[in-house]
Every structure is written in structure tokens, then in C-alpha cells.
Amino acid sequence: MPAYQYRLHNYILSRKISELRYRTIQLHRESALMSKLSNSEINKEDQQLGMMPSFNRFQPRERNEVIEWEFLTGKLLYSVAENQPPRQSINSILRAALDDTVMQVMEMINENSKSRGRLIDFKEIQYGYRRVDPMHGVEYILDLLLLYKRHKGRKLTVPVRRHAYLQQLFSKPFFKEAEELDVRSLKIHILVPLTGRYDIFLRFMENFEKTCVIPRQNVKLAVILFSSDSGQDSSKHRELIKEYHNKYPKADMTLIPMTGDFSRGLGLEMASSQFDNDTLLLFCDVDLIFTSDFLQRCRDNTIQGQQVYYPIIFSQYDPKVIYGGNPPGDSNFQMSENEYSPVDVCHLAIALEELLICLSY
């Protein structure tokens, strides 16, 4: 269902864009007309975009400048263009363009259908011609087979044919320059909500030291430490963070104290609120062991405004139990040692901008 909702939303937005582009064309035409009536010089943009539709706007001076028409039927396209087969099926892009064009034509035909007591339905394209004028737009000559339905007075249904001469004008081009960002140096803000579990936290910090601090990875660690009245002692966690601060004074580590019962969502939201919208966040559990390659994948696969990265986590049995007190190196994994975990929101790389959008729903 969400996929269909996305397609519907995308279609509605595309129609809105088309309407706005058509409105800009109308404004350029009005501006060109006013310049003509006031006997003043026509603006270059108005001269290009404000001319009335015509199939003769481009005047070729030589034979090789003539823009040739393509012949089409409901299913096939015949073309004399170079490097193209003379006969080919209508591809999905042209099919979508034709469907959209026919739909707009039918909307214009049936604009006053209720007051006129008749409705005209589209049946098929008998044949047509199409060409693209690079300076002005796409031009169509279509022979349409329609059904005329009269619902006032004597009811009547009659097939009719109609020629449509259409020009889909190009509006002013818009573009946005995207600044390329070198994600290899992008700073990752690792957020770790925590209560108790000191031994696991000690192992996490040892891995963080080896993976991030010593190699001088561009990361920031934010530990959200919950303290409640249930007897959870957080003093050892504070002392451990303090030791690492003293050992590595340039390492970017911070402790965010919170009171009350442990709540992962509340802790992550509170910590996230302290950063800018373009911050790259990594939601991380304290029992996660990661490598520098994993951090790079977070940078590569998280795209602000477009994409969130859900890593697949490998859950391993306790190596001390599996190997009888003689565990191998950290990266020596075997499929028999457990399984890959399904995606969950405990481990997630996301730009803060997307997180704020999610929280607003």
C-alpha cells in the first residue's frame, strides 16, 4: 500500500509542476503581448517562451536542418533517425508522455461536458506524428478514436474520430547546483543510550578506542546515561568516560546524563536535539562491535534528504562459550556461530533532518 501511495503522491506533484510550468508560459505570453501593445522592446525570455503555439516557429534554411516527424500507432513507432531501428515498440517513456498528453486533451474536451449533456471517452490512438523541436517543445498530430456519449434527452453512443494538433512547450529551464561532499571525511555522531551493563560498556569503549580514537576517525561519541531510583549505579560509567578523556584529551566524547527509567527513543531524541540538521547520526547499542569499514559504509550509504542506512547486524554467540575459553580474533566469524539479525531501529545511520521529519509524524 505505501508504494501505491508514493506513486499517487508523485503523480499529483508532477501534475502540479506541469500546471505551474504552464502558468509561467502564460505569463511570458502576456508579457510579450503587453510589450508589443506598448511598442517597447520584447524581453529575450518573453520572445523565446511567450510566442503563441505554431508548427512553423523553426524555419530551416537547409535540408539537413529539417526536423523530421516520427510516425506512430497505438503500439509501434516508425522513425528515420540515425542509429535507431526504423520500426520499434513504443517505450515506456514515450508511452507515459502520450498517456499524459491524451489525458490533458480529454480534460479540455470534457471541460463543460455536464452542462452540454454529453461525455466523450478516449478509446485509442489510430495513428499520429511526433517530433521534438529542441528550442520550443514536443509537437504531436494525433488521430484519436473517441466515443461520444449523450446522456441528456435521447441517449446516444457513437464512435467519432478527431484530429488533435498539439504542442507541448518547453518552459524556462531550472537547475540546482549540488555541492559535492567528500563523505570520506564526514563526521559521524555515535549515539549510545545506556543504563547499567558496565561490563558490556567497558568492552564497547575498548573497541571504540581501537577503532575510532587511536586511528583518529572523524567521529563523536555521545553516551546517553540513564540513572533511576532502581539502584542502577552509574558512577563507574562516569569514571570510565573520565579516564578516556584524560587518556585522549583530543577525542570527541561526551556524556549526556538523564534521569528516570531507561527509554531508548527518549534518549536518542534528547541527544539528537543538540546537533545541527545536517549532522550524520549513528544510533548504536552498547553491545555492538564495529570496524572502521562499517563507519565508512555509514558515510557512503546515508544520503541527506534521500536515503537512510539500516545495517544488517551479525549476532554472535559468546566466543568464550563456543571456543571453550580460547576465542579467536574479533573478525573470525562463522555462520554456525549464530545468525544475521533483521533490520531494527536500534542500529541506524541517518541525517538529523530526516529524523526530525520522522518525529513530526
Euclidean distance between CA atoms 224 and 195, whole angstroms: 8
Q: What is the mean pLDDT of the chain?
A: 80
Closest CA to 187 of 268, 110, 279, 310: 279
Q: What is the pLDDT of residue 359?
A: 41
Q: Is the pLDDT of residue 71 over 90?
A: yes
Lowest mean pLDDT among 43-52, 148-157, 320-329, 348-357: 348-357
Tell me which of 59 and 128 has the higher pLDDT. Answer: 128
Closest CA to 255 of 275, 273, 271: 271
HSE toward the beta carbon, residue 132, CA cutoff 13 A? 6
Q: What is the pLDDT of residue 315?
A: 67
Q: Is the pLDDT of residue 126 over 80?
A: yes
Q: Report the percentage of the chain scoring pLDDT > 70.
A: 83
Q: Is the pLDDT of residue 204 over 80?
A: yes
Q: What is the pLDDT of residue 125?
A: 92
CATH architecture of 67-172: Roll (3.10)
Domain residue ranges of the chain, discontinuous segments joined by +: 1-51, 67-172, 183-328+336-359
Lowest mean pLDDT among 16-20, 84-88, 226-230: 226-230
Q: What is the pLDDT of residue 318?
A: 60
CATH architecture of 183-328+336-359: Alpha-Beta Complex (3.90)
- On whether the CB atoms of residues 355 and 281 are closer than 8 A, the answer is yes
Q: Is the pLDDT of residue 335 over 50?
A: no
**Other CB atoms closer than 10 Å to residue 213's CB: what's the count?**
19
Q: What is the pLDDT of residue 140?
A: 93
Q: What is the pLDDT of residue 187?
A: 84
